[in-house]
Amino acid sequence: MSRLQAEHLYKVFGRRPDDAVRRLESGADRDDLRSEGTTAAVIDASFTVEPGQIFVVMGLSGSGKSTLLRMLNGLLEPTAGRVLFDGEDITHLTARGLREVRSKKISMVFQHFALFPHRSVLENAGYGLEVQGVSRSEREERATEALRLCGLEGWEKSWPDELSGGMQQRVGLARALATDADLLLMDESFSALDPLIRRDMQDQLLELQKTLKKTIVFITHDLNEAMRLGDQIAVMRDGRIVQIGSSEDILVRPANDYVASFIQDVDRSRVLTAGAVMEPVDGAADAVRAAAPATVDEDTPLVELFALCATTDAPVAVADAAGELVGQISRTCLLAALGEESSAGAAVPQQRNEAPTLTKQADKAGDAEPEDRKPVEDRKPVEDVKPDEGEAGEAEEVAAHA
């Protein structure tokens, strides 16, 4: 069974949202609704997330990705459609039922840390457990272990303002892990960090995932981050999901020119793997393996094959997990795979200026967001506001029931 399933989700802000959904289903354009003062933030979004998978949703600022995330834990009620978590329809839960789900089954990690300045690092990490009513001794034990996993052992008694930005984000991640929730929602969680710290946090998340195997929905505006983290990636544009696939699927087979405009600046050598570009074995398997400069597995990034292919004309052998030879990569094959990048870029010249705005627009939007605030009680979302308004209040609500 899928851990998380979204079925035909719509979120419309403004007057007569149900009527707007019917018009969208009949083929109405989003711009037509906007001219009437109605904003279709998410349109007919469907996807599944398997247990232990990192599912990345990416798109420009205003594409609807954060609104989509907030429907996954009930912060925003879908105008139409439903969300299934472990087979249970959470879109029809009571307010009390939703609080129970948020406190024990779904945790959230925020972009701006959302730490309490008057609580120690240990108290912040254990806050979700405190909301659950866990005893002090148990929550301190579990919070201490979560901080250790996040590389913060020895910082338990420190205050948030004594930590760097990257360390504060680790505390936010530790708070989510301490509750042992089945699903982590991460909304631009690394976007506020400097590039080097951001990459370090990506490494930290991938390392933790090897051990904990959490199910994660990760929102980002950064394509390279999406390619690095995502087992599956959903690309959003104007409220719609335009493509879902692995990083290799999206890089090699973009669904349209819009997606192709994003991938033209991606370093293909670090995303594509040997298994994605290998050729059939030419000759006897034993002979190919004997002549090869090395045998690599199917998940080996192409960047690691440059030196091998440069030493000899013999192709590199590619083996599967069982050690069986499944393909080979010659120097010509490697260059051809990298050469496709130029062809892809040339195919969409009209879009060339759009992809670089992905990070810039999102960073600009992120800079405008308020800093951490104190949590408030649960409240019903306001339906007639724009998608990104009230974002801080929604973050407060999740922090109160982390």
Distance CA 216, CA 232 (A): 11
Helix (H, G, I), strand (E, B) or coil at 76: coil
**Burial readout 73-86 (b: 16 or more C-beta within 10 A, e: otherwise):** bbbbebbbbebbbb
Q: What is the mean pLDDT of residues 137-142?
A: 93
Which position has the higher pLDDT, 287 or 382? 287
Strands, E assignment, 90-227:
106-109, 183-187, 215-220
For the chain, the domains span: 51-264+357-400, 269-346
Cβ partners under 8 Å of residue 380, min gap 6: none
Residue among 207, 188, 201 nearest 56 (CA):
188
Residues in the chain: 402
Q: Render pLDDT for 359-377 as a digit per residue (tens, 0 to 9).
A: 334 343 333 333 333 333 3
Q: What is the mean pLDDT of residues 80-96?
A: 92
Q: What is the mean pLDDT of residues 134-141?
A: 92
Neighbours of 381 (CB within 10 A): 17
Check the CA dihedral 366-68-185-355 and report its sign.
Answer: negative
Cβ partners under 8 Å of residue 388, min gap 6: 62, 66, 67, 365
pLDDT at residue 340, rounded to an integer? 62
Is 306:284 a contact under the CB 8 Å cutoff? Answer: no
Is 309:329 a contact under the CB 8 Å cutoff? Answer: yes
Res. 147 pLDDT band, cuts 50 70 90: very high
Distances (CA, A) of 164 to 70, 132, 167, 203: 28, 28, 5, 17
Is 84:9 a contact under the CB 8 Å cutoff? Answer: no
- The CA radius of gyration of the chain, in Å to the nearest whole number, is 23
On average, the pLDDT of the chain sits at 82
Is 345:352 a contact under the CB 8 Å cutoff? Answer: yes
Is 85:119 a contact under the CB 8 Å cutoff? Answer: no
Check the CA dihedral 282-285-288-293 and report its sign.
Answer: positive
Global pTM reads 0.77
Distance CA 350, CA 372 (A): 40
- 394 sits in which H/E element: helix 391-400
Distance CA 171, CA 183 (A): 17
Distance CA 106, CA 97 (A): 12
pLDDT at residue 194, rounded to an integer? 84
Q: Render pLDDT for 188-225 as a digit per residue (tens, 0 to 9).
A: 888 878 888 888 889 989 998 988 899 999 999 888 89
Spell out the CATH class of 269-346: alpha beta
Is 282:288 a contact under the CB 8 Å cutoff? Answer: yes
Task: Determine the longest span between alpha carbons in the chain, in angstroms.
Answer: 70
Residue among 211, 10, 220, 225 nearest 109 (CA):
220
Is 129:179 a contact under the CB 8 Å cutoff? Answer: yes
pLDDT at 185 over 80: yes
Cβ partners under 8 Å of residue 100, min gap 6: none
Distance CA 398, CA 402 (A): 6
Q: What backbone torsions phi and psi does residue 188 show, to the nearest 5 degrees?
A: 50, 40
Q: Render pLDDT for 223-281 as a digit per residue (tens, 0 to 9).
A: 889 988 999 999 999 999 999 999 888 988 899 998 988 788 788 888 888 888 899 99
Q: What is the mean pLDDT of residues 142-156?
A: 92
CATH of 51-264+357-400, one of 3.40.50.300, 3.30.450.20, 3.20.20.140, 3.40.50.800: 3.40.50.300
Query: What's at 110, amino acid-wise?
Result: F
Helix (H, G, I), strand (E, B) or coil at 6: strand
Distance CA 69, CA 242 (A): 16
pLDDT at 342 over 90: no
